[in-house]
Amino acid sequence: MNRLHKYIDDKLPGINAALEKALPKADMKPEVLHEAMRASVIGGGKRLRPLLVIMSSRACGGGDESEELAAGCALEMIHSYSLIHDDLPCMDNADMRRGKLSCHKAYGEAMAVLAGDALLTMAFEVLASGLAPEKAARACAILAKASGSVGMVGGQVLDLEGEGKKLELDQIEAIDKWKTGALITAACKIGGIVAGAKLEDIDALSKYGRALGVMFQITDDLLDIESTSEVLGKTAGQDAKQGKATYPAILGIEEARELAKDKSIEAKEALKGFSKDALMLRLLSDYVLERKK
């Protein structure tokens, strides 16, 4: 795992610098909007989705680094917008995010909605202008679908509709396939596009991303039960408080852990046709399975 940690430590400064450059400066009008956008993106987060773009690109031989970073920034902006909106009182009503006040607590509900909207639209500007035209068109289509009504937003709707209800495993899998998995899968596919990968390799990356997305959500559900707000940097225990359908709630903690292990195996199996260049993706699967925050 030390090898993965070193790799992440090497990549994070470039990702953060690219985000810093891509986002509007805080003193640019309208200042409060840009301050809220920057506060929600910079200075926190695991940067999982940008890392997946880079790792997936390198697994396919690698692409232009500026294109990898542009795509990574777009994914992180979409992810950050979703967290702003998820935290709103009308959704999860969370006070903390990434170890600080959530956007609506710091800037008010209206500004939080607008900051999320602005990050969503800026993501496509960054993606469209940062990649070669043909790659940009394909990547924008993938990201739009993954973010929309049959992706992340649709998954959020299903999640809201499932609150307080007893759901079956296939129902919660459908929620998480869209709510969490769609954007993770998109990051993997777009990384392949940046590298100019063959369709079969992009399909394999998609299978990896789907398995990783389920595993990430299971571990997230477990951490919500077992960890603390201080460690997580967000309010712990929110799922139970809101009556959300989660993997531990349906399967029990131990069976949920076993399913996560199965998904880790599935993710690595999807990479069997790749060379040693996919090592970081394999190590990332182990890391997500064992993560503590």
- Residue range 219-238, pLDDT digits in tens: 999 998 987 666 566 665 66
Of 35-49, 184-198, 225-239, 258-272, where does mean pLDDT reach its minimum? Answer: 225-239
The listed range with the strongest mean pLDDT (148-157, 167-176, 220-229, 241-250) is 148-157
Where are the domains positioned within the chain? Answer: 2-281
Here the tokens at position 104 are 């609506």
Per residue in 64-94, pLDDT (tens digit) is: 999 999 999 999 999 999 999 999 999 999 9
Output DSSP code: residue 49.
Answer: H
Region of 131 please: left (phi>0), alpha (psi -120 to 50) or beta. beta
pTM reported for the whole predicted model? 0.94
First to last CA, the chain: 16
Separation between Cα atoms, residue 147 and residue 181, nearest integer Å: 10
Domain 2-281: CATH superfamily, name plus number: Farnesyl Diphosphate Synthase (1.10.600.10)
Mean of pLDDT values over 270-277:
92
Report the percent of the chain where pLDDT is more than 70. 94
CB-CB contact of 38 with 23 (8 Å): yes
Indicate whether 99 pLDDT > 90.
no
C-alpha of 171 from chain center: 21
CA distance 259 to 278: 23
Separation between Cα atoms, residue 184 and residue 55, nearest integer Å: 12
Calculate mean pLDDT across residues 175-202. 97
Locus of tokens 């100019």: 196
Q: How confident is the model at residue 245 (pLDDT cuts 50, 70, 90)?
A: confident
| Residue 164 vs residue 119, higher pLDDT | 119
Q: What is the pLDDT of residue 242?
A: 63
pLDDT tens-digit series, residues 110-128: 999 999 999 999 999 999 9
Confidence check: pLDDT of 272 > 70: yes
At 104 the pLDDT is 98
Give 1's pLDDT tier (boundaries 50, 70, 90).
low
The tens digit of pLDDT for each residue in 120-154 reads: 999 999 999 999 999 999 999 999 999 999 999 99
Output the CA–CA distances (angstroms, integers) from residue 106 to 81, 100, 122, in the order listed: 15, 9, 21
Tell me which amino acid residue 197 is: A
Report the C-alpha dihedral over residues 259, 260, 261, 267, rounded to 10 degrees: 110
Rounded to whole angstroms, the Cα distance separating 243 from 165 reads 8
